Structure formats: C-alpha cells, structure tokens
Structure 1
Amino acid sequence: MKFFIDNWFLFLTALVSGGLLAWPKLGGGGLAGRVSPAEAVQLINRDKAVLIDVCEPAEYAAGHAAGAKSVPLGSIDGSPALPKNKALPVVLICASGARASRAAAQLKKAGYERAHVLAGGLKAWREANLPTEKSA
C-alpha cells in the first residue's frame, strides 16, 4: 500500500493518458463521425459507403472526389441521390468540412446513423493523392 501512496502521480499519469487515448473512440472531443481520407476509402471499399459532395454545383463542377454524388447542402433533405438504404454508410465531403458537418447532422435526424464527415474536406482528399475529377 505504501508503494501506491508514494507513487500516486505515476498511477494518475497512467490513468489520464489511458483516458486521453480512449477519448476519441468513445466519441468525445466533438469529432465523432469524422473520418480521414484513408478511413473513407475503407468505408467505400468494404462497406459500400456512398460519397456525397455537399458543395454548390459550381464548386462541384470545378473539382470533386471521383465517384462523389452532388447533393448541395440546401437540397439534402429528401434528395433522390441519397441511398434508400439508411443503414449504408454515407461519407459527406465539402471544401473544408463545415457544410458536411451540417449535412451529417441533417442526415442523422433523417435516420442515416452512419453519416460520416470527411475530416479536412476536399483539401485533405487531394493531399492524400486520391482521385478527383471535374464535370463538364
């Protein structure tokens, strides 16, 4: 018992560091639902996730992630481009991630529990050297 009392700071340090490591997995920090570009690709390949670009049509035409469907944020509610199966994961992307976060909140209210936001947006997608395309 004396050992524990004499070294309480070591136990406290271990407890705090373990908590900080577990925090993101528990959904803390306000980053729940955010995925990296690599995680997004895994969701697309393994779980048949649908990539949705919520930018405005002009932004989408200027450049978007390859295979992304265009569903502007203003028309996301009830859009026919969204998957009918609400159990499928949806990865939302925009220029920076701000609009995608709002779209994810709307989709979660509509029953899409597996709505994810691409952290860093299209910029992060490009920095990961993932394919982009332009519309005519």
Structure 2
Amino acid sequence: MDRLTSFAQDNLFLVLIFAGLTVALVVTEVRRLFRGFKGVSPVQLTELINRENALVLDLRGQAEFEKGHILGSKHLLPSQVDPESRLLAKSREAPVVLVCNMGVTAGGVAEKLVKAGFKRVAVLEGGINAWTGAGLPLAKGRA
C-alpha cells in the first residue's frame, strides 16, 4: 500500500488522468443504460428484418445511399425524420432501426423518436461500415 501511495504522489498527473477516464467510462455506460434505445449488431438487424419486418431508415446522404444500402431500407436525412410522417406513424410499436455511416448520427435521431413515443428504436452499432465489415450485401440505386 505504501508503494501505491508513493506512486500516486510521484505521478499525480497520471492518477488524475486515470480517475478522469474512469469517471467518463462509468458515465458513458450509465447513459447508455438509460438512453431509451438499444444498439444492434448486423446479425441482430438481419434477424429483426427477417422475423419482425423492421423499418430500417438510412440517414446518410443520397449519394452514399445510392452507392449501397441495406435492402429494403428507406432513405431519410436526419432533418427529414418526422415522427408524425405517414412512413413512421404506423411503426410506433414496430422495430425501427436507424443506420448511418458509423452509428453516431443515428443516436440523436433515435432519441427524437423515443421522445415521440416510439417503443422499439434501435441504432445499427458501427453503422453501414459494420454491416459491410460483416460481409453482408448492399443494394445499389434508389430504394
């Protein structure tokens, strides 16, 4: 214990960095538990599409979408996602999965849908990059 105390005193900067990173990690994980939506892997998304006819919304730009998208997905820009739209209104109880490039942009849209009362919102973890990384196919062109 004396060696640990001595190390902490001699390396205060390292100890503070370690403490800060630990707090950041804990806060991130707690927020993930209470965010109201979940992350799904490419395999889980495939199961949701096949078993529950999940609505998949691709939030990337039009050009990226046309280069390659998940078969059956619908294209919407994040600013176009309206919980009251005809496309989304019928999916309040059904699975809705949001897809972007790396899974980051979709989180904000997922929060918006959860606040609007959607019950089964998910984000493809790792985005379309994870999908292609898993060796899963993409459709080309417009939906």
Q: TM-score range by the shorter chain?
A: 0.7 to 0.9
Structure 1: runs of 5 or more not aligned = 1-26
How many angstroms does 1:43 deviate by?
1.2
Letter in 2 for 1:130: L
How many angstroms does 1:83 deviate by?
5.2
Deviation digits for residues 14-68 of structure 1, max 9, x if unmatched?
A: xxxxxxxxxxxxx856265001000111111112211110112222122211211
1:50 equivalent in alignment to 2:52: no
1:41 equivalent in alignment to 2:43: no
Which residue number in structure 2 is paired with residue 14 of structure 1?
Answer: none
Q: Following the alignment from structure 2 to structure 1, what is the Cα–Cα distance between the partners of residues 78 and 125?
A: 17
Using structure 2 for the length normalisation, give the TM-score. 0.69
1:30 equivalent in alignment to 2:36: no
Question: Among the aligned pairs, what percent are the same residue?
Answer: 39
Aligned partner (choices 81, 96, 109) of residue 76 of structure 1: 81
The count of aligned residue pairs is 110
Task: State how 1:1-136 maps to structure 2 within 5 Å.
Answer: 28=30, 30=32, 33-77=38-82, 78-82=84-88, 84-135=90-141
Q: Following the alignment from structure 1 to structure 2, what is the Cα–Cα distance between the partners of residues 85 and 93?
A: 16
After superposing on structure 2, the runs of 4+ consecutive aligned residues of structure 1 that deviate more than 6 Å are none
SS in structure 2 at match of 1:51: strand
Any conservation in 2 of the 1:71–1:81 contact (CA below 8 Å)? no
Deviation digits for residues 61-104 of structure 1, max 9, x if unmatched?
A: 22211211101101001343325131000111011111111111
RMSD: 1.9
Any conservation in 2 of the 1:50–1:90 contact (CA below 8 Å)? yes
Letter in 2 for 1:68: S
Structure 2: runs of 5 or more not aligned = 1-28
Using structure 1 for the length normalisation, give the TM-score. 0.72
Letter in 1 for 2:32: G
Letter in 2 for 1:71: L
Q: Following the alignment from structure 1 to structure 2, what is the Cα–Cα distance between the partners of residues 88 and 121?
A: 20
